[in-house]
Amino acid sequence: MRADIHGGRLRLGDVLIATGEALLSDGRIASTRDPDTPLHWHIEGETIRLVYRNATRSPVRIEQLRPLVARETSLRDLRISSTGWQSWSRSNPPIPFAPNALAAGPPIRGPYLPHRAPDSQSEAWMTILCAADRPPVLFGFTSAEHQLGTIELSQAADGTYRLIAATELEGIAIVPGAELRSEPLLVSSGDEVRLQARYAQAVADAMQPRRQDEVLTGWCSWYQLYTTVSEADVQRNLTVLSERREQLPLRLIQLDDGFQHAVGDWLELNEKFPSGMPALVADIRAKGFMPGVWLAPFLVSEHSHIFAAHPDWVLRDQDGAPMNALHNWGGANYALDTTHPAAMDYALHAVHTAAHEWGYDYLKLDFLYAAALRGVRHQPNVTSVEAYGAAMRQIREVVGERFILASGAPLLPSAGLVDAMRIGSDVAAYWGREGNSDGPALSNAMRATLARGWFHGRWWTNDPDCVIVRDHDTELSLAEVQAWATVVALSGGMLFVGDDVAEVEPERLEILARLIPPSGLAAEVSAPIVDRMPERLHLRVQRPWAEWSVVGIGNWSTSSVDATFVPTEWGLPPGRYHLFDLWQGEYLGCQPALKLGTLAAHAVRLLSVHLDLGRPQTVGSTGHLLGPAMDLAAEQWDPLTRELLLKPSGNGPAARRVEFVVANVSGGVQRVAATAEVRLRC
């Protein structure tokens, strides 16, 4: 995109014309249009920074740097995507403009933004704007080392939009002669999926993500036992999972919230854990599992001993009152001031103890946004993003190469510091609740997972949150359980189960077993969008012998619909396709398109889709939910001997019985057991 600067205005191709501004703490606004402006742009390719130079003789305090301030007249039918500030924040593909002061409000799901207009839509980090008659445009800050970046849109009475891309300086001072730079802002236009990839790569270049190894699997105590969890509960699940390893090989046992005296009192275990942590960890290890534990290192309950002893360790508001980061567990929970050396030492001591004294290899660090709240800190002149980054870097140093799953964590500032990221709100054993579009609910977790697949493997490993498969103590229908299992499988992210597995019905454990191991690959999603969720999921499988697709067709509406599959609507070339229903293990024939019949509310159909190659070929399998994409390691067809060689991947549970479904040229299919290499004369 061409950038021209003329008369203090920046023109970006035919996307927009903007000025740059700085909002000072005394309320004055400096503009690139001023004759003696202290501002200039620094432009590299499609990336823009705004720089403020203090040419005065006294310090200047800055609230915001605004690399782009534009009035847009031509945004017909504007739709806006949400990335969301932190793990649990609302996230969705482009949907019509709507002020979101409540949905993205502080302190939990949005940051404190004192300068935003109340009737605006404000998006943290990155947004994609779609309007009629022009390609989508992405505005995204590509790093968060110093400042939070937001893109704010508001609409004037005449219908025109005002766009402000700004970074928050929170009143920090620049000394005379010094310069202050905004985070870099990428502005790019084109196809939505390509824009996400381009932005993800730019962020990865700036934030240096950690290496992604294996995508982990495990058990988590939270989604059935909640805070009632006891040592006996963990032991019971440990025993069951170790006895059923052949059917259900999971790697981790992760203890969640419920072991501590109070939030903040991490080192005081409650009476439900009489044997202590080292003993529990030893048992987990002895049975061959990786031990994991939950902590919220930056949160202290008003009821904690630690807050009673050190009330000066928490973040304060302008009036000096402790800032409530959330109301939960029967009271206020304050944010630890990580710039207070003693407070930070305490957080590090808790994490050090969990990792090195107790012996946990995997830390689910939760409510991390608390360290990134705007407030009055012990150390002046530090932004909340800087405070968060510094705290997380110290935590990383303490835990070394142990695994960090971040949860409730501001997204961009965590890239490079954590191994995995919770990318949605909590799941629950119900689809949704009236008026709850952000809190715990299966549909909310699903919405975020569908919106944030493009993070996966680029900034960290995505954690879509646990699957819940039990058939009791739940409001979820089988269709809903399967829909979530499908979305998790197609996310490529971590696979954890949130049930008390000792109590789960065998046929429901079978659902879980079909998801092992995670594929590591995230499917692309596309419209139609219903209830802010895309209904199409598409994983393109590329192998040396063939390319095929795994497609998920969801119905996120509240009533049943007639579903069809038309390959050309999915970007596949016209032709005849072998279709295989992966949930049912049923071959549906070879056709140019297919009527799938009725799809119930909240249900999903999952198909393996193979272009007819005019020779014998694998078109389905019955092991992993993703079918041959996971079950088949290699296929060779020899036209001279007319022999088809199939090699099973063998990467699933040891007890898994897999059948390959092979299409013959005659139009029929045959099923063959995939115990070892299979040679078929066709």
Residues that bind ligand 9PG (CB under 6 A): 88, 108, 222, 256-257, 294, 326, 328, 366, 407-408, 426
* C-beta closer to ligand 9PG: residue 83 or 407: 407
> Measured from the CB of residue 215, what is the shortest distance to ligand 9PG in angstroms?
18
The H or E element that residue 207 is part of is: helix 192-207
* C-beta closer to ligand 9PG: residue 129 or 405: 405
Burial of 471 (0-12, 13-18, 19+ CB in 10 A): middle
* C-beta closer to ligand 9PG: residue 382 or 467: 467
Burial of 443 (0-12, 13-18, 19+ CB in 10 A): buried
> Measured from the CB of residue 287, what is the shortest distance to ligand 9PG in angstroms?
23
> Measured from the CB of residue 479, what is the shortest distance to ligand 9PG in angstroms?
24
> Measured from the CB of residue 109, what is the shortest distance to ligand 9PG in angstroms?
8
- In whole angstroms, give the CA distance from residue 539 to residue 551: 6
* C-beta closer to ligand 9PG: residue 222 or 313: 222
- In whole angstroms, give the CA distance from residue 4 to residue 43: 10
Identity of the amino acid at 253: I
* C-beta closer to ligand 9PG: residue 32 or 461: 461
DSSP string, 290-339: EEEEEE-TTEEETTSHHHHH-GGGB-B-TTSPBPEEEEETTEEEEEB-TT
> Measured from the CB of residue 366, what is the shortest distance to ligand 9PG in angstroms?
5
- In whole angstroms, give the CA distance from residue 142 to residue 206: 7
Residue 633, both tokens: 């390691």
> Measured from the CB of residue 649, what is the shortest distance to ligand 9PG in angstroms?
31
> Helix, strand, or coil here: 100?
coil
Cα 48 from chain centre: 26
* C-beta closer to ligand 9PG: residue 304 or 621: 304
Report the side by side order of strands in the sheet with 547-554: 524-530, 533-542, 547-554, 604-611, 577-581, 586-591
> Measured from the CB of residue 148, what is the shortest distance to ligand 9PG in angstroms?
20
Beta bridge partners of 149: 167
> Measured from the CB of residue 395, what is the shortest distance to ligand 9PG in angstroms?
17
The total number of residues shown for the chain amounts to: 682
> Measured from the CB of residue 674, what is the shortest distance to ligand 9PG in angstroms?
36
* C-beta closer to ligand 9PG: residue 226 or 545: 226
**Max CA-CA distance within the chain?**
87
* C-beta closer to ligand 9PG: residue 498 or 534: 498
> Helix, strand, or coil here: 54?
coil
CB within 8 Å of 247: residues ≥ 6 apart: 509, 513, 653, 655, 656
Residue 670, both tokens: 């045959």
* C-beta closer to ligand 9PG: residue 19 or 407: 407
| Residue of this chain nearest to ligand 9PG (CB atom) | 257
Nearest partner of 164 among 90, 64, 78, 89, judged by Cα: 64
> Measured from the CB of residue 465, what is the shortest distance to ligand 9PG in angstroms?
7
* C-beta closer to ligand 9PG: residue 63 or 233: 233
